[in-house]
A and B are shown apart, each in its own frame.
Chain A
Amino acid sequence: MEWILVAVFLVSTILGYILINNVPSLLHTPLMSGMNALSGITLIGALIATAISLKDAHGVLASILGGIAIIVATINVFGGFGVTDRMLKMFKKKG
């Protein structure tokens, strides 16, 4: 099981690398900010961990920390995709 995970990590790293190579420098900022939003995927980890700590009654501190993790990851996701969209809206071609 562990090795499948490590293999997935390596394969997606390589694929990501190839994909990004095609992005022109014109779009580097939106790209970076979009990637930044995607890194908020850690949100699913936060959801799982918090839910488990709630179910197993690991105490108030655990719930608060889990809640913070969910909040900051969600800010990362919404803020990141939102600001990327705003930026991309500005890239216009005239005529």
Chain B
Amino acid sequence: MLELLKNDVIYYVISAVLALLVMFGIFLMSKVDKARLGNGISAFSLLLAVIITLLRHEILGIWFLYIFLFVGAVIGIFMAVKVKMIETPQMIALLNGLGGLASTIVGGFALFKIGAEDNLFSQITALIALLIGSITFVGSLIAALKLARKMTQKPINLPYHSPLLLTLLILMLALLVLIFIPSVKPLWIVIFGLLISALFGLVFTIKIGGADMPITISLLNSLSGVAGAITGLAINDILLVSIGGIVGASGLLLTQIMCKAMNRKLLDILLGKTSTKVVKQVSEEEHDESQTKSDPFAVLKAAKKVIIVPGYGMAIAQAQYQVKELADYLKTLGVNIKFAIHPVAGRMPGHMNVLLAEVDVDYDDLYEMDAINPEFKDSDVTIVVGANDVLNPAARNQPDTPLYGMPILNVDESKEVLIFNFDLKPGYSGVNNPLYSKTNVHLFLGNAKDTLQVFLNNLKK
């Protein structure tokens, strides 16, 4: 048995089977009723991978390793069980960073020729793994801090930000060239590599603002996979290469989907061009609170079709419970309720879906942007909870704003609109929302949890 595992060809076959198993798991994750099984299959493949590694390298008997495995497992399980659903974005970012840290360390080992062969290919890939791993680690930590709101959501701009990033990038490339010179000690390469890449991760991520987080977090996710795969190249392990590659690709694709949904170019984000230009504030029009507005309670009670649009504001106010209560109450009145989910609503891909699932909203009621957009014009009322940029009509008709070109939800086509936002300030994009001053729009300003609750109480009277 052991001899078999040591045979390279057989190990390749086993790796291929495990990679296929992982892919099957991912395939199942595309269907909501099979997704849990898919996740389980992926986890199982990873367990098999660990066991096979222990056997193949004859390290099954080193009890020392199990202590660390045990400690990691306990902490990991504890985190998974204890984390509140609202904290998942920062938890995912943090975990992602830990994966990057592990790749960094293994890359560092390989640079000292521990676990890796002494050839140029191994050395170069080891350094790349170390660099990417450490960028992922530092970048993810900053992202986690921003997502946890322990750091400003606004982009932090250093003087000469873009040239600084470029310089760091060139320094990393220069370091790769140093590998070719045998007299350069690996210790120096490791030290400088860590310094430069950590700084790059820091400078790169502090510039990214809150609303670009869905893009950043999926990009970092991709990077941690790439770091793993390249570590596999360095230590000559085909299993690590294939599974790391799958993760890298998936993250990249998610990044692309997010970029498309925000009408942003990945390169612009990589180079640190943010979408937040300071736009000249259009002098705020006086809100016409005259009698022309209809009574929102009557309108809602008479409605046949209502669409609810949740946004990041719902997440920070934790208003999903009230949203669910409102939806349930309207359903008892015979109203048809649909939820419209913009792909970048929130701080990570699919953020709104998770929050609504948490309060038991049927996922059949959740609609993606393209599916729901034609329906706004037939809807009687649209209820917006903590969303702004994703429904700002300026994206359609104001070419001079940073929002222009971003696909939005056609909330403005709805007959009546109720907005439960914190204030009238522009969203992350800095663009004023012309919707706010329309006569068929009713504003309920303040913490969405409170405003919705008050509204609900009045509605039920």
Residues on A lying within 8 angstroms of B by beta carbon are 1-2, 4-6, 8-17, 19-54, 56, 58, 62-63, 65-95
Contacts and interface: CB of A to CB of B under 8 A. Distances in A.
A94 B362 contact: yes
A65 B115 CA distance: 14
B354 interface: yes
B106 A49 contact: yes
Instruction: Provide the main secondary structure of the chain A interface.
Output: helix
B233 A5 contact: yes
B354 A87 contact: yes
Interface in B129-176: none
B429 interface: no
- Interface core residue of A34, A39, A84, A87 (most chain B CB under 10 Å): A39
B237 A30 contact: no
A47 B137 CA distance: 19
Contacts of B439: none
B235 A6 contact: no
Given A42-B99, A85-B39, A93 B364 contact: yes
Nearest to B87: A83
B76 A5 contact: no
Contacts of B42: 34, 37-38, 81
13 contacts: A5-B236, A13-B248, A16-B250, A27-B32, A34-B26, A34-B42, A38-B243, A75-B72, A75-B95, A76-B99, A78-B72, A80-B80, A93-B363
B23 interface: yes
Nearest to A74: B72
A11 B68 CA distance: 33
B117 to A, nearest CB: 9
Contacts of B241: 5, 8-9, 12
B360 A46 contact: no
B49 interface: yes
Contacts of A52: 114-115
Interface string B345-363: 0001111011001101011
Interface residues on chain B, size class: 35 or more
- Interface core residue of A68, A82, A85 (most chain B CB under 10 Å): A82
Nearest to B251: A35
Given A17-B249, A46-B102, A76-B98, 7 more contacts: A2-B121, A27-B35, A27-B350, A39-B225, A41-B228, A68-B101, A89-B36
Contact of B99 (A5, A30, A39): A39
A26 B240 CA distance: 29
Nearest to A22: B30
A65 B96 CA distance: 19
A58 B62 CA distance: 15
A36 B353 CA distance: 18
Nearest to B227: A42
B209 interface: no
A70 to B, nearest CB: 4
B50 interface: yes
Contacts of A63: 64
Interface of B: 12, 19, 22-23, 25-27, 29-30, 32-33, 35-36, 38-40, 42-43, 46, 49-50, 53-54, 57, 59, 62, 64-65, 67-69, 71-73, 75-77, 79-81, 83, 85, 88, 91-92, 95-96, 98-99, 101-103, 105-106, 108-110, 112, 114-115, 121, 217-218, 221, 224-225, 227-229, 231-233, 235-254, 257, 341, 343, 348-351, 353-354, 357-358, 360, 362-364, 366, 368
Contacts of B228: 39, 41-42, 45
Given A14-B249, A46-B105, A81-B42, A39 B350 contact: no
Contact of B247 (A2, A35, A48, A83): A35
Contacts of B83: 83
Nearest to B83: A83
Given A28-B254, A36-B96, A37-B95, A84 B39 contact: yes
B35 A19 contact: no
Nearest to B33: A93
B350 A37 contact: no
Contacts of B35: 27, 30, 88, 91
Contacts of B357: 87, 90-92
B64 A29 contact: no
Contact of A15 (B105, B246, B254): B246
Contacts of B341: 25-26
B77 to A, nearest CB: 5
Contacts of A95: 362
A11 B358 CA distance: 37
A62 B109 contact: yes
